[in-house]
Amino acid sequence: MKGILVIDGNQGFCELISTLCGDLGLKATCFLSFEKAIAEISLGDYDCIFMELDLQGIDGPQAIGIMTGMCLNVPVILMSGEHASILSTAQYAGKMRGLNIVSTIAKPFSVDELSSLIQDAADRQQQLEGQQPAAPREKVENLRPGEVIRLVEAGHLQCVFQPQIDLNTRNVCGVEVLARIDHPEQGVITPDRFVNELENCSLIEVFNEYLFNHSFKAYKAFGRPDLTISINISAYCIRNELFPDFISTLAKQYDISPSKVILEITESHGLNFSAQSLMIMSRVRIKGFSLSIDDFGTGYSSLETFSKVPFNELKVDREFTSRLRAEERAKKIFELAINLSKQMGIVSVAEGIEDEEEASLVAAIGCDVGQGYYFGRPMPSEKFMEWLNWELKEAPWKQVSI
Ligand code: C2E
Ligand code: CA
Ligand code: CA
The string of DSSP letters for 213-262 reads: HHHHHHHHHHT-TTSEEEEEE-TTGGG-TTHHHHHHHHHHHTT--GGGEE
SS3 of 144, please?
Answer: coil
How far is Cα 353 from Cα 338, in angstroms, rounded to an integer? 16
How far are the Cα atoms of 20, 113, 177 from residue 123, in angstroms, in the given order? 19, 16, 35
Whether the CB of 362 sits within 6 Å of ligand 1: no
CA–CA dist 311, 292 (Å, integer):
6
Mean residue pLDDT of the chain comes to 88
* 296 neighbors 351 (Cβ within 8 angstroms): no
Nearest CA to ligand 1 atom 21: 352
User: Does the C-beta of 370 come closer than 6 Å to ligand 1?
Assistant: no
Helix (H) or strand (E) holding 343: helix 328-344
Residue whose CA is at the smallest distance from ligand 1 atom 42: 232
Secondary-structure class of domain 145-399 per CATH = alpha beta
pLDDT, residue 300, reads 62
Half-sphere exposure of 28 (CA within 13 A, CB side): 25
On whether the CB atoms of residues 287 and 244 are closer than 8 A, the answer is: yes
228 lines ligand 1 (CB under 6 A): no
CA 107-111-112 angle, to 5 degrees, is 110
Instruction: Give residue 284's pLDDT.
Output: 94
> CB under 8 Å to 116, separation ≥6 — which residues?
none
Asked whether 246 and 216 are in contact (CB, 8 A), the reply is: no
The pLDDT, as a whole number, for residue 139 is 60
182 forms bridges with which residues in the sheet?
Answer: 188
Per-residue pLDDT of 196-215, as tens digits, reads 888 877 788 889 999 999 99
Tell me the CA–centroid distance for residue 367 and ligand 1, in Å: 19
Domains of the chain by residue range: 4-128, 145-399
Whether ligand 1 lies within 6 angstroms of the CB of 268 is answered as no
CB of 294 shorter than 6 A to ligand 1: yes
**Residues in the chain with pLDDT < 50?**
133-134, 136-137
CATH pick for 4-128 out of 3.40.366.10, 3.40.190.10, 3.40.50.620, 3.40.50.2300: 3.40.50.2300
Between the CA of 148 and the centroid of ligand 3 the distance, in Å, is: 22
pLDDT tens readout for residues 164-201: 999 999 999 999 999 999 999 999 999 999 988 888 77
Q: List 159's β-bridge partners, or say none.
A: 179
Cα 5 to its chain centre, rounded Å, is 31
* Alpha helix positions (H), 154-227: 195-199, 203-222
* Preceding amide of 184 cis, omega within 30: no
Measured in angstroms, how far is the CA atom of residue 279 from the centroid of ligand 3?
A: 26
Nearest to residue 346, comparing CAs of 397, 272, 285? 285
Q: How crowded is residue 47: how many other Cβ atoms within 10 Å of its Cβ?
A: 21
Per-residue model confidence (pLDDT) at position 1:
65
Amino acid at 278: L
The amino acid at residue 354 is E
pLDDT the model gives residue 327:
86
- Give the count of beta carbons closer than 10 Å to the beta carbon of residue 187: 9
Determine the distance separating the centroid of ligand 3 and the alpha carbon of 294, expressed in angstroms. Answer: 6
Nearest ligand to residue 262 Cα: 2
- What is the pLDDT at residue 297? 80
- Report the amino acid identity of residue 347: V
Confidence (pLDDT) at 136: 47
